[in-house]
Amino acid sequence: MSIGNQIDGLPTPSGTPGAPKLLEVRDIVTRFTTDRGSLTAVNGVSLSLERGQTLGVVGESGSGKSVLSRSIMGLLPRANTERSGQVIFEGKEISGLNDTEYRELWGDEMAMIFQDPMTALNPVMKVGLQITESLRFHLNMSKADAKDTAIALLKAVKIPEPEKRFSSYPHEMSGGMRQRVVIAVALACGPKLLFADEPTTALDVTVQAQILDLLAEQQRERFMGIILVTHDLGVVAGRADEIAVMYAGQVVEQAPTALLFSEMKMPYTEALMSAIPKLTDASHTRLAAIGGRPPDLVNPPKGCAFSPRCPYVQPRCHEEAPALTPSPTAPEHLFACFYPIGSPETEEIRLRIAAQRLMATAPQFVTPAQGPPPIGEVPAPPSTADQPEGM
C-alpha cells in the first residue's frame, strides 16, 4: 500500500518489535449539520488498538459509538459532516484519503460487520458472489480460486453445506446464518482490523453466543484487531481485552476489562451495570434504571454531560467538564469524573441512597404524583410477587 502520509517513522511490518500500533485514533471529532444546528456526535475521542486485541466500545443509543467506528473507517457521508482528528492505521494517516484510496483499504485492511444481517446483504445477489466480489477486486483472484476461497470461508464460519449455500440468496437463510455470511464477507480478504457494530443485537441469545464464539475463534486464527461496539456490558465482559465506555460522544471511562469491572470509577458505568437484570437476583427485584435521557447533542449541558442524570452529582459537576485522566493507582485506567466511585463524596451519597431504598422496599405500589386513584379495584399481587431480596 502506498497511500497516506507517513507519521511515526518508517512503517514496519506489524508484529515486529517497535512496529507502530495497528490503530491509533487521536482526538477525533465528528459533527453533523442539522436543521437545529451543529450536532457533535463524537467529541474528542482517542483510542489505540494492537493486532489480536479486542476493544469493546459500550454506550447507550446516541452515545456516538457507531458514528465513532464509521468515522475511523471513513464510512460517513461527506455532505453535512465535519470531521477532524487523526486516524493512524499501521503508522499511516488515513483520515484524509479520498474514495478511491479508501476502496483499497476497505475489505482488504479493515472491514465492518453491521448490526442488521437482514439489510447488510444484497437481497438480489447470491451470497457466494457477495463474498467473491471483494476477493476478485482486492486479491485479483481467478473466478475458480475465488469460489474455492469463498466456500472455505463459508465452512470457516460454520455454515452447513457450504457448496450448496454458495448459490443461495440471503432470504433463504435464517438471521444467524446471514450474520455468518456477513462475517464471511468481512473476513474474505483477511483484514487486520475488524469493526463489529452491534453484531448480535438483532439475534437470539443462543445465536448470539454462537456468533461471539465464532468471532473469537476467527480472531485467534487471523490475529485481527477487533473493535466490538455494543450497548450490552454483558457481551463485552467475557470478550474484550479493553473497554471504552462512551457517553454523549466522549469516552468517559476506559480500562482493561478486568480492572473496569472490579474498580468501576465512573457513575455512568456503574449505572449501566446496575440497569442490567441479573440472573442471580430473585424475580421482581426492582431494577436500578437510569433516570432521564442522554443529553441533546446540539445543545449539550454545561459541565459534565452525565451530571443531569448522575446520582452522585455535586455543584462542581454542573459547572466544569471533567477531562479523561488516568487513575492515580492504575495509569491504564482512565476516567472522566471529579467524584469517582469510591471517593468520600460519592460514598456518602451512596449510603444515603441505600438507606432510602431499604425504607422503600416493602410495598411496590407507587403513589402517582397527580391524578385520582385508579378506577376499579386493585387485587393484591400474589404472594410470590413481593419476595424480598435474597430468595
User: Residue numbers of the site for another protein (CB under 8 A)?
Assistant: 60-61, 160, 174-177, 204-210, 212-213, 231-235, 237-238, 257-258, 261, 271-273, 275-279, 281-291, 293, 364-366, 368-372, 374-382, 384-385, 387, 391
Q: Which three cell numbers stand for residue 158?
A: 460454520
DSSP 179-205: HHHHHHHHHTT--SEEEEESTTTTS-H
β-strand partners of 45: 28
Q: How far apart are CA 159 and CA 284, in angstroms?
A: 40
Look up cell 489505540; give the residue.
48
Can you tell me which residue has the cell 462542581? 316
Whole-number minimum distance, CB 238 to another protein, in Å?
A: 5
| Residue number, 1 or 287, with CB nearest to another protein | 287
286/302 with CB nearer another protein = 286
Cell of 36: 437545529
- Closer residue to another protein in complex, CB, 220/286: 286
Instruction: In angstroms, give the least distance from the CB of 373 to another protein.
Output: 9
Taking the complex as a whole, the smallest distance from the CB of residue 365 to another protein amounts, in Å, to 5
Q: 75 or 207, CB closer to another protein? A: 207
99 vs 377, beta carbon nearer another protein: 377
Instruction: Give the strands of the sheet with 92-93, arranged side by side.
Output: 5-6, 92-93, 81-89, 23-34, 37-49
Q: How far is the CB of 210 from another protein (least distance, A)?
A: 7
Task: Report, in Å, the least distance between residue 239 CB and another protein.
Answer: 8
Residue 64: which residues within 8 A CB-CB, separation 6 or more?
Answer: 30, 41, 42, 43, 45, 246, 248, 249, 250, 297
Shorter beta-carbon distance to another protein: residue 23 or 240? 240
Q: Nearest 5°: CA angle at 196, between 192 and 200?
A: 145
User: Can you read off the three cell numbers belonging to residue 10?
Assistant: 518508517
The distance of closest approach from Cβ of residue 261 to another protein in the complex, given in angstroms and rounded to an integer, is: 5
